[in-house]
Amino acid sequence: MSKREAFLAATYKENVEDFLRFIQLHNKADPFDVEEVVQEMPRDQKEALWGKLCLFLQDVLQKLPPECWEESNQARVEDGMDVESSADPTPTMAFWTWSTHCMVGVLFITCSVQVSLWSPWSICVCPSDVLLSLPVSETPLPLLLHIHTLCEAWWKKELDHREKFGRTAFLISLRKSFLLKKPGAEIQRVWSLHDVLLSLDYTSEENKEVLDLLLQCFHRPVYIRNDDVSEVRRFLVFLFSWNVNFIWVIHGTIKNQLEFYNSSLMTHITEIYFRAWKKADGEFLEQMESSCIQDFMQCAIFLHRSSPVYAKVRQIVSYFHSRKSCPRVEKMLDGLYKPILWKSLFVPNSEVRANATLLLADAFPIHDPAQGSENIDVKIQKQLDTRLLDDPYPVVRSNAVLGVCKILAKCWELLPPAIITGFLKKLITELSCDISSPDVRCSVFKCLTIILDNALSHPLLEKLLPTLKYSLHDNSEKMVRIQETVEAKPELALVYLDYLFNHSSTRDTVLSVGEKSLKQLHTVLGNWKSVLYTHLNSTPQDPTAPSVETALQAFLLHGRLGAHLQHQVSNYLCAEMFCLWVWEMTISKVKSFTCARSSSCQVNILLHLPEPLNLTCAYICLHDLFSFVFSEAGYLGIPAVLPVLKEIADSFVPDDENRNKKKYLEEPEDETTIILGVVVNIFHKVIEILARRIKKEPELGKQLCLSAVPGLTDFFQVAQTWKRAPLSGVFSTIFAIMVVENNHVLQKVGS
């Protein structure tokens, strides 16, 4: 007997053990596959198999109903018995019988085999009767899979009593999607069966479980924000169109969960509401607008601002406001706000007025685009009422300021100039000086930046904003406070100020700001004299203190500004005081510097003073250096004298631009040439002293020459940049030294 014939014979109820053995044989040793065997059967054998399976299954279910399976299995496990070894009807036998039955049913359906026993079997022993007795988590997986596949195939083939099979398949998919860690595929299966809901009676008690499972979808983030499966959002949107009465139930569930939704989930929830409203029509549309959208509008008006769901309700309402580019949305907002918003703006409760003000600002302009232009203008004019800016409650005034700024930024080019000017004057001249509330004053400054985003507002605001400068002296920390402490960079300010003074157009603008402001600037720049004096005294410097270059730049700008003030204001002797300070504090220092062999850095400061003070300092330095070098112990200071000579020479070497000037070529006896000539003469004397000292005291002279090498090197580098006459004077001295030295060597060799 073949295995096919043996399998058919085993379906008799007398051969229970043989039947169980056959359907469990699918292993490597004996790979018997029921599906393969059934597919190869001829039609008459398939009908015979189906009839025997129906009778066999009915007999098993009569002896052991599904509701007894769990109790029987639990009792046998407690007694330590093998549930698969008994010939009596057991849950295991029932499970395998059901699995085989469902598997064969699926094969028959997919092969379009018409059997006369479909209808009575589906009525008497429907798979849903089995599943109702056991939860999904406790149903054996093979049985669950085969029942699920059978019911789904039965529904899609539109066979008799498909509603009951479709309901079972839908329930299994929905339950499994809640249990799986990655339910994407199962959610797609749920969507493929969503039409099953249209065949269910919403009011029936039998479908209460379906309703509960559907509402659980709005509790689970995997259903709300699953971007990988597009069918998820389509399914949730579809639920709003299943039954009119179910819309309010869904809305109530979402409202109860709002407190627990994070910002990401709220974004998806708002999109679901909008898509559901956009898809709805007829009574579904009316229910969506009255029960959901208008309810959120009322919550946005009447909820306390401290409520944990207030911001989330505002997010949903604002999402609809952001879709106002659609005429249908504008019409909906106009109709839903009409009975609740306008009266809420003037109710006694100040918090309600504040919330309503925010909604009006966010939704402006509220109108029905289908109405005529005259009616629209009247409605918009009504919404531009300035009474909210004079509300006695500060929060309402602050919200009104925010609303006005949003409206002006969004609709600047659409509003009449008179309304724009009136609003801005109200904000800048009155509310910015509101003595009763610093929050209102602060809101003016925060919200004016919103208007600045519209470039069309800049010409008018340029005239009005300067009047706000006195608010910098506000005594409220909310108004004036340091947002971020940053390092002061006076160098940048001085560079900018130098740029302003170097160009005639900008210089005239600076000098026209007023005598009081210029005197304040002059005083600030004059304070840098103390920093410069500190550097002149060679006192220990703080590493964080401004550099000498910065102090010198500020001092020079102080002198330039003083000269301009001297020219404009005769009784303000800025230039005289500037020169007096330089003469007393600077020129008097030169002699002490040179006599004490000062550092070249201090000399550099003096030489960068404005003309003619730098020339005076140079003459005094050279005179004192000359006197010092010819003193009795002057040779000891030669290493210190050379850097000073280098600084003086470097300060008066003409740049490339001056070299090309005709004046420089035609007037060789200018101040620069004279100073450089004096420098060359002192250099000659330094070389003579070094040569004389080597001749008298060779060891001391050698050490003195070695210590003078760095100074000589720097001096020669500067001398290379001179014009021809001073340069020839320096290098002629060097050549003379070389000639004398070589002559001395030759005389020794000859003798």
DSSP character at residue 385: -
CB of 292 within 8 A of CB of 273? Answer: yes
Cα 170 → chain centroid: 43
Cα 205 → chain centroid: 51
Q: What is the DSSP string of 29-92?
A: SSB--HHHHHHHS-HHHHHHHHHHHHHHHHHHHHHS-GGGHHHHHHHHHHHT--TTS-SS--HH
pLDDT score of 684: 75
- Cβ-proximal residues to 530 (8 Å cutoff; 6+ apart), any chain: none
Residue with tokens 């009807």: 89
Q: How many CB atoms lie within 10 A of CB 744?
A: 9
**Domain ranges (residues) in the chain:** 1-179, 495-750
Q: CA-based Rg of the chain, rounded to a whole angstrom?
A: 50
DSSP character at residue 539: P
Q: Which residues of 555-569 are buried (b: 16+ CB within 10 A; e: fewer)?
A: bbbbbbbbebbbeee
pTM beyond 0.75: the answer is no
CB of 724 within 8 A of CB of 656? Answer: no
pLDDT score of 255: 92
User: What are the distances in angstroms from CA 204 to CA 187, 201, 215, 537, 749?
Assistant: 25, 5, 16, 101, 135
In angstroms, the CA 674 to CA 407 distance is: 73
Bridge partner residues of 31 (DSSP): 26
Please give the structure tokens belonging to residue 276.
Answer: 């559901």
CA angle, 487 as apex, 486 and 491 as ends, to 5°? 130
Q: What amino acid is encoded at 314 in this protein?
A: R
Please give the structure tokens belonging to residue 739.
Answer: 């000639």
User: What are the distances in angstroms from CA 662 to CA 122, 125, 588, 653, 668?
Assistant: 117, 119, 36, 16, 11
In angstroms, the CA 20 to CA 97 distance is: 8
Bridge partner residues of 26 (DSSP): 31
CB of 391 within 8 A of CB of 400? Answer: yes
Q: What amino acid is encoded at 288 in this protein?
A: M
CB of 641 within 8 A of CB of 686? Answer: yes
Spell out the SS3 assignment of 401-442. Answer: HHHHHHHHHHHHHHCCHHHHHHHHHHHHHHHHHCCCCHHHHH
DSSP character at residue 26: B
Give the model confidence (pLDDT) of 398-424 as tens digits.
999 998 999 899 888 888 888 888 888
- Cβ-proximal residues to 460 (8 Å cutoff; 6+ apart), any chain: 420, 421, 424
Q: For 328, phi and psi rounded to 5 degrees?
A: -65, -35
Nearest to 410 by CA among 445, 374, 435, 447: 447
- Cβ-proximal residues to 292 (8 Å cutoff; 6+ apart), any chain: 247, 251, 273, 277
pLDDT score of 252: 93
Query: By three-state DSSP, how is residue 645 classified?
Result: helix
User: What are the distances in angstroms from CA 264 to CA 131, 259, 312, 350?
Assistant: 36, 13, 11, 32
Residues of the chain with pLDDT below 70 are 1-5, 7-39, 46-47, 49-146, 158-159, 228-229, 472-485, 532-546, 548, 552, 563, 566-637, 640, 644, 648, 651-672, 721-751
Cα 155 → chain centroid: 50
pLDDT score of 373: 74
CB of 112 within 8 A of CB of 43? Answer: no
Give the model confidence (pLDDT) of 575-601 as tens digits.
445 554 554 554 444 444 444 444 444
